[in-house]
Amino acid sequence: NRMARSEREMPPPARRQQARFEDLPEYKQVMTQKFASEQLGIANPFYRAHQTAAGATTVIDGRKLINFASYDYLGLNRHAEVLARARDTIGTFGISASASRLVAGERPVHVALEEKIADFYGVDAAVCFVSGYLTNVAAISCLMGPKDLVVHDEFIHNSALAGVKLSGATRRLFKHNDVADLEHVLRTVAGDYRRIMVIVEGIYSMDGDVADLPALLKLRAEYGFWLMVDEAHSLGVLGKTGRGLAEHFGVDPREIDIWMGTLSKTTSSCGGYIAGSEALVEVLKASAGGFVYSVGLAPVLAAAATTSLEVLEREPTRTAALRRNGALFLKLAKEAGLDTGLSSGFSVVPVLVGDSLRAVQLSNDLLAEGVNALPIIHPAVPEGLARLRFFITSDHTEEQIRRTVTLTAERLADLTERNFGLGGIDI
């Protein structure tokens, strides 16, 4: 037949060269950075291995350090009750859920955790996923599609961004924490969208400032969007009893359409959750790919997170201590002339230092003095807005905070005096 003949007459396809990982621009960038830091004699501040559970203090290379690089905001990672419950749960269920909850992975500890989260928030229902990152990807891509519009803060976390991209929805961003700009975007965006979602963070992870919930709700009444709040850095932090952004502003938590959070920070476990209405949770459990087609949260992690929430509820002094420490850090840093950017002084206080090289060197200088604080550099933030990011915990002592702020100001002044930075260095 004709098909077979034309196939016979076709010349063999030209051999296609396989792409090389070494040629990827990302690889070249990493190698350039490594080369530059070797030339300049600057140690890599990333992947420092901690030889203990990292909280207000940690151990690196056998040295005990003051630590400002842990998300264990309320010091629950080694809490006796959390550990005991985790051990019991391992005894009963082993480590893994071994399957999607839909098939053979459901355990009573999953439902207990979801009921606890819903109860803690004061909403109807919750569902948990195996990581915070996956929670954003799975939930956003499930709820939104190509006919929809997502408008998000320009500094939203990478996981939310990934979810929006996967959803195929039209994506617009608004200026950081600027509700007037959000309104401008909503007013001027062209197109007849099926649904609109607005995504913000309770406390922003890079800057430590707080979303303006009342203004967002006012806007929602007019534009009819779903409001999604990522509480990765505000659960257990904002509000007198740590219930987050709604408590901070005295707003009924049911007013917010989609609460999202991670179990890896305040609740010292691993996983993520969505909390809200019964219908929202039913939809996600039935059709979010990252829930349906992924293993259930490890039972031990579910039990640990539940116990952490119980302790947090019983001991609001932890939240109070964290807030006291955050406010003290911010106050001292400002008094020392440090640039803390937009931070409101709760869980996250950045100290802006200029370019990436300065941030890396400052981190290394502090390490030499016994303080572990990590730099955030380009491309995570624009070059010139590099910073050291200090995560405050309830376990930090006043002395640790004072010492850290003093050292940071001294070391930074030293770098400035030496005119240390990217300027003039050709890399």
Q: With CA atoms as reference, report the closest residue to 312 among 32, 59, 43, 82.
A: 82
Q: Residue 150 Cβ, how far from ligand PMP at the closest point, in Å? A: 15
Query: What CA–CA distances, in Å, run from 107 to 94, 100, 253, 309, 414?
Result: 11, 11, 28, 19, 56
Instruction: Name the minimum Å distance from CB 135 to ligand PMP.
Output: 7
Residues near ligand PMP, by CB under 6 A: 131-133, 136, 157, 159, 201, 205, 230, 232, 262, 264, 272
Closest CB to ligand PMP among residues 137, 303: 137
Give the integer Cα–Cα distance in Å for 160 and 154: 11
Helices (H) then strands (E): counts for the chain: 15, 13
Q: Please tell me what DSSP assigns to residue 269.
A: S
Q: Residue 256: CB partners within 8 Å, gap ≥ 6?
A: 213, 227, 229, 245, 246, 276
DSSP state of 156: -
Q: Please, what is the minimum distance in Å from the beta carbon of residue 227 to ligand PMP?
A: 16
Nearer Cβ to ligand PMP (170/264):
264
Shortest distance, position 271 Cβ to ligand PMP, whole Å: 7
Q: Could you tell me if 230 and 156 are in contact, meaning their C-beta atoms sit under 8 angstroms apart? A: yes
Q: Which is nearer to ligand PMP, 21 or 47 (CB)?
A: 47
Q: Toward ligand PMP, which CB reaches closer, 201 or 395?
A: 201
Q: Which residue's CB comes closest to ligand PMP?
A: 132
Query: Are 340 and 351 spatial neighbours (Cβ–Cβ below 8 Å)?
Result: yes
User: In the complex with ligand PMP, which residue's Cβ is closer, 264 or 408?
Assistant: 264
96/267 Cα distance (integer angstroms)? 19
Which residue lies nearer to ligand PMP by CB, 298 or 415? 298
Distance from C-alpha of 161 to C-alpha of 185, rounded to nearest angstrom: 18
